[in-house]
Structure formats: C-alpha cells, structure tokens
Amino acid sequence: MRERTLDTTDLRISSLGLGCNNFGGRLEAATARQVVHAALDAGITMFDTADIYGNRGGSESILGEALGARRKDVVLATKFGLPMDEAGKLQGGSTAYVTAALEASLKRLKTDWIDLYYLHRPDPATPMTDTLYALDALIVQGKVRYIGCSNMSAEQIMEAQRVSQAKGLHRFVACQNQYNLLSRHLEAEIIPSIEAHRLSLIPYFPLAAGMLTGKYRPGAAIPAGSRMSYQHYADEFLNDESFRIVAKLQQFSVQRGRSLLELAFGWLLSKPFVGCVIAGASTPEQVRQNAAAIGWNFTAAEMTEVNRLAVKRR
C-alpha cells in the first residue's frame, strides 16, 4: 500500500482509505471488525467515519472497538454536523454543538484525539466564523489535529479560507466530496477552488456506488442489499449513459491488462490534488481486492483518453 502526505500537513496516509459508513447499518459489529482488521493487514492507515453513520453513533463505536490498541497506528477521520436526534437540536456548527459533538465522538471512538475532523455539511444557521473559532479551539486543546469540510460549494470553501486567514485561525486542509468518472461536476468550480487554496480532495464514492466495478449490467436484476438497491443511488447512476461510459472504460482497461477497478482508483490518484480515495467494503475480501487495485499511475496520454471516454453526451 502506497502512502502519501496530505498536502500542507504532516499526516501520512494510505492511498486507499476505508470508508466506515456501513458499520452499524449494513454491517453488524463482528463483520465490521473483520473488515477493519483486513484493512490494517493490507496497509490501510486512513479510516473515515462520521457521527451520523450506523444509526447515529454505531459506526464510531464499532470502529473504536475494532481498532483497539491499533488506534495509534492510523489516521482517524470523522465528521459532525448532521442531525443526531429526531428533534434536530443536535446538529450544525455552533460553538456549543461542535464542542459537544467532538466529545461524544471521542468517547465512541475510544480515543483522545481526532486526526481529521470534518464539518459534514454547511450550517446555514451558523456563521462560518463561529464554526471555525470552535474548531480552532479544539486544535489548540490538542483534541483535533486538522480540520476539513464536506459537501461545500466553491463559494463556501473560498469564504471559509478567507475567514481563517483574516482571523488567524487554523484552516480547512481537506475537502470531502463525491467525485468519480461518472460524477465530475466538481471540475467546473470546486476543484479550481480546492487547488487555489491548497486543500486536498478526499473523494468519496470513487466507484460510483459500484458502477465502476463493472458488476451491474443493463436490464439485470440488482443484488439485494447492494448500494444500487437504494433508489437515490439507482436514480443517479443506473442509466443508459452510465452503462455506455462504463463499457468504454472497461474496454480501455482490458486493452492495457488492467481492471476497471484499477482504472477508477488510478484516475483519481493520478490527480495531484487528490489526497487519497475513500472506499467502503462489506467483506474482508472486498478490502483486499480494493487494496490490490491501487497502483496504476496514469500517463498524460492515458488521462486525456480516459477523460474523453468519460464525457457524457447529455
């Protein structure tokens, strides 16, 4: 497993990170523990979760138990901000809530610090200045090493970085958004903002909910329990245009003795602004397959051709 340094930080992370959003939901504790151990054995050191995952807290609790004494060997990322109660009171980016959310995550994860703490989504009810001051205080206290943002627009990213610089606060060092060969909307505005402000992009859904593994076929039944069995994923990715692009990319990969999985990961990791890719897994074998698919460094010509093949007609 290759490692890289997250730009502007001293965090050494594996090129492939394990997404833990399945823990406590689609995966029960025993299986999740096997997945974590398989990831550690494969050299994966980046573990990504959130307080909301696993029915509000389940993912963090399972991950904390599974890591145990190996916590010190990994880079642990989690998120806050989405509703943690039915009433919607436990959410957002206010000073009081940021502090409370962090303490709750530390307890569930059985750790004294978080390596990378994300605002899961912007909070329209709280000025970004307030959130950044709260996060800065956590860094000063040693409870958080670095901070990041997720699902923010280019304008919101630029405003956050402007506020940090103007107020002398610690700034966001990473941005987590959906990005893959079938979902490239970030390229118009968000990626230029990321590059201008030296954030690392940590893309989630690098495999487009499984479309970029080649396991789905036009007209074939969707396996029960797969991501595509959820309607919002199917609505986004299961269409004729996606299948057309996947077929072209599959052909490109086979001609070079590579797999579609290698292509999906390699395309992302060949981009200098990408810190690592976050991929979930439901079995230890899937972890090993993902880890084995890391390593295709695209040439400029390959990047140009893949970009061309992945252009949507509509």
Contact 99, 134 (CB under 8 A): yes
Q: Does residue 302 form part of some domain?
A: no
Q: What is the pLDDT of residue 228?
A: 72
**Cα(205)–Cα(271) distance, rounded to whole angstroms?**
16
Tokens of 226: 């797969």
Residue 225's pLDDT band, with cuts at 50, 70 and 90, is low
Q: Does residue 223 form part of some domain?
A: no
* Residue pLDDT, tens place only, 239-260: 889 999 999 999 999 999 999 9
Nearest-5° angle of CA 184, CA 127, CA 104?
Answer: 85
Q: What is the pLDDT of residue 191?
A: 97
**Cα(66)–Cα(68) distance, rounded to whole angstroms?**
6
Question: Residue 100: which CATH number?
Answer: 3.20.20.100
Contact 46, 1 (CB under 8 A): no
Q: What is the pLDDT of residue 237?
A: 83
| Cβ neighbours of residue 129 closer than 8 Å, sequence gap 6 or more | 163, 167
Q: What is the pLDDT of residue 240?
A: 87
Q: Does residue 232 form part of some domain?
A: no
Residue 251: how many other CB atoms lie within 10 Å: 11
With H, G, I as helix, E, B as strand and everything else as coil, classify residue 226: coil
Contact 90, 82 (CB under 8 A): no
Q: Does 121 score more than 80 pLDDT? A: yes
β 3-5/12-14 pair status: antiparallel
Average pLDDT of the residues in 264-281: 96
Q: Does residue 285 form part of some domain?
A: yes
Q: What is the pLDDT of residue 217?
A: 84
Tokens of 19: 């997404």
Please give the residue range of the domain that contains residue 191: 3-216+263-297
Q: Does residue 308 form part of some domain?
A: no
Instruction: Give the count of alpha carbons within 13 A of 32, CB side only.
Output: 25
Q: What is the pLDDT of residue 314?
A: 66
**Cα(278)–Cα(259) distance, rounded to whole angstroms?**
18
Residue 229's pLDDT band, with cuts at 50, 70 and 90, is low
Q: Does residue 225 form part of some domain?
A: no
Choose, from 53, 97, 117, 204, the residue flagged as catalytic. Answer: 53
Residue 227's pLDDT band, with cuts at 50, 70 and 90, is confident
Q: Does residue 228 form part of some domain?
A: no
In this prediction the pTM is 0.94
Q: Does residue 306 form part of some domain?
A: no
Contact 33, 65 (CB under 8 A): yes
Q: What is the pLDDT of residue 186?
A: 95
| Cβ neighbours of residue 305 closer than 8 Å, sequence gap 6 or more | 252
* Residue pLDDT, tens place only, 143-159: 999 999 999 999 999 99
> Structural domain tally of the chain?
1
53 labelled catalytic: yes
**Cα(299)–Cα(109) distance, rounded to whole angstroms?**
40
Beginning with the edge strand found earlier in the chain, give each strand of the sheet holding 46-48 in spatial order: 200-201, 172-176, 144-150, 114-119, 75-80, 46-48, 16-19, 277-280
* Residue pLDDT, tens place only, 21-57: 999 999 999 999 999 999 999 999 999 999 999 999 9
* Residue pLDDT, tens place only, 77-113: 999 999 999 988 999 999 999 999 999 999 999 999 9
* Residue pLDDT, tens place only, 184-223: 999 999 999 999 999 999 999 999 988 999 888 887 777 7
